[in-house]
Amino acid sequence: MMTKQFEEKNHHYQKRINTFLADFLTQHYSKSNRLIEAMSYSLLSGGKRIRPLLSYATSEALGLDLKQADFIAASVEMIHAYSLIHDDLPAMDDDDLRRGKATCHVKYDEATAILAGDALQAMAFEVLTLVNTDPQIVVKLIAQLCQSCGAIGMAGGQSLDLESENKQLQLAEMDNIHQLKTGALIAAAVEMVGILDPKCTEKTQQALKKYAYNFGMAFQIIDDVLDIIGDAKEIGKPIGSDIGNNKSTYPAIMGLDASKSAAIKHSKEAVSQLQHLPNDSSYLRYLAQYLVSRKT
């Protein structure tokens, strides 16, 4: 399949998840108020929807009904949206803009933004209770999401990241932070689809796990790399100028070229896992390859 066709697939699935999320809000939270407006504002503000794309791609690779993947994709994106709202707060990263729009606490107010994040987290678990499958599987899905987003997952990683500010980290420490902060939820987007599949063997689940791990690592390294290249374009700062300052990034620790190579290595390692999957995994391959070539 040509790149253009995969780009269309991205577009198709982005539209699919956006519609699902909008419909979910309308159906389950029909009586609008300030809080629900703030939740919708952040949840429906677009973005690449990379986690939902991973859920749909995994669903394709396992030959599953996409209607079940909708719920996984939605729950993970709700957690992602809540984490962005809270990360943007003045007490955290203090960001005014997100995807070119005012952040939730700027558009509304801090208290509403805190509550919108809180309520989106509850909604992420709610959407999983609605998956139409064996309840034992539903419980496993919920357990996986709890661990991915809680104190030994995403929230834990964000806390370690804040603690590490102005400290020079070792590579292993930084790997650990990113595996928790961004990796755990990316892994959930993939592995939860595996849990959904009653035919998924231990071997397949392990392949998904390794795919997701390497995808997450490549994703984070490229994020750091783009931060520098982006800076170079935007404010004329020389490439690699973050190296040596107190911001722990992959380029700062291992240099820009080595970072790019590491990202490519992880992307290839992710792709190598796909041979263990039962159905057409070309879209998962595309996503892992697109990742390291992306410009934004």
Binding site for a copy of itself (CB under 8 A): 29, 31, 33-36, 39, 82, 86, 89, 91-92, 105, 109-112, 114-115, 117-119, 121-123, 125-126, 128-129, 134-136, 138-139, 142-143, 145-147, 149-153, 155-156, 158-160, 162-163
How far is the C-alpha of 40 from the C-alpha of 210, rounded, in Å?
33
| Number of C-beta neighbours around residue 199 at 10 A | 9
The CA–CA distances, whole Å, from 22 to 41, 71, 72, 108, 172 equal 10, 13, 15, 20, 40
CB of 106 to a copy of itself, least distance (A): 13
CB of 6 to a copy of itself, least distance (A): 34
Q: Which is nearer to a copy of itself, 136 or 296 (CB)?
A: 136
CB of 162 to a copy of itself, least distance (A): 5
CB of 111 to a copy of itself, least distance (A): 5
How far is the C-alpha of 41 from the C-alpha of 64, rounded, in Å?
31
Q: Which is nearer to a copy of itself, 103 or 214 (CB)?
A: 103
Extract the runs of DSSP E, i.e. beta strands, from the chain.
Answer: 97-98, 101-102
CB of 205 to a copy of itself, least distance (A): 18
Q: Which is nearer to a copy of itself, 137 or 232 (CB)?
A: 137
- Contact between 254 and 171 (Cβ < 8 Å): yes
- Contact between 76 and 292 (Cβ < 8 Å): no
Q: 138: helix, coil or strand?
A: helix
How far is the C-alpha of 52 from the C-alpha of 70, rounded, in Å?
8
Which candidate, 194, 29, 32, 19, places its Cα nearest to that of 122? 29
CB of 123 to a copy of itself, least distance (A): 6
CB of 140 to a copy of itself, least distance (A): 8
Between strands 97-98 and 101-102, the pairing is antiparallel
Q: Which is nearer to a copy of itself, 126 or 231 (CB)?
A: 126
What residue has token string 């678990």? Answer: 125
Q: Which is nearer to a copy of itself, 30 or 275 (CB)?
A: 30
Question: What six digits make up the tokens of 120?
Answer: 């989106």
Q: Which is nearer to a copy of itself, 156 or 205 (CB)?
A: 156
Q: Which is nearer to a copy of itself, 8 or 110 (CB)?
A: 110
How far is the C-alpha of 128 from the C-alpha of 68, rounded, in Å?
10
The terminus-to-terminus CA distance of the chain in angstroms comes to 23
CB of 11 to a copy of itself, least distance (A): 30
Q: Which is nearer to a copy of itself, 142 or 243 (CB)?
A: 142
